[in-house]
Amino acid sequence: MATYCFKKRKKDLFFEAAMRGMLAAVLDFPRCLKSRKDCFEASHQVPDAMRADVCCIAADNDAYRHLVRAGWSFAYLAIATELKARDVVPLAMVLKSKSQTSALAFLRQTYGEGEPRIHFDQAYEQYVIESRQSA
């Protein structure tokens, strides 16, 4: 059974992609990608990696891929360009000691509620606005 429904839970799917982008940036730190273009290109395999956990993609494959890549890129760039090393190093120490599954679970728990989640929800809303304007 799929964890995310592309038709009904796009915001949650964006958040999951963002958690994966955050993990990738922390693991790449301090040699993170810095440009939005480079980051978006690096995210090309993420939609395929997440596909098994998502249902109702069918005809909207391009929209699905774009949503996932945007979520991943948002979080990756936030870590790479907005945080200082003193903010990333403690998180990196925790995440690098865990498996990918455990690290993602830790990030979901840490950033999935309250004020931290608000930032991801705002990024999703901005993504929706930009997507409508470009359509």
Q: How many CA atoms lie within 13 A of 79 on its CB side?
A: 27
pLDDT band (50, 70, 90) for residue 29: confident
Give me the chain's average pLDDT, please: 91
Domain span at 114: 4-134
pLDDT in tens, 71-106: 999 999 999 888 888 999 999 999 999 999 999 999
pLDDT band (50, 70, 90) for residue 113: very high
Residue closest to 127 by CA, chosen among 12, 6, 11, 5: 11
Give the pLDDT confidence score for residue 109 in this predicted structure: 96
pTM of the model: 0.92
Count of structural domains within the chain: 1
Distance of CA 98 to the CA centre of its chain: 18
Distance of CA 34 to the CA centre of its chain: 16
Give residue 19's identity as a one-letter amino acid code.
M
Give the pLDDT confidence score for residue 27 in this predicted structure: 92
Contacts of 43 (CB under 8 A, 6+ apart): 21, 68, 69, 72, 73, 76
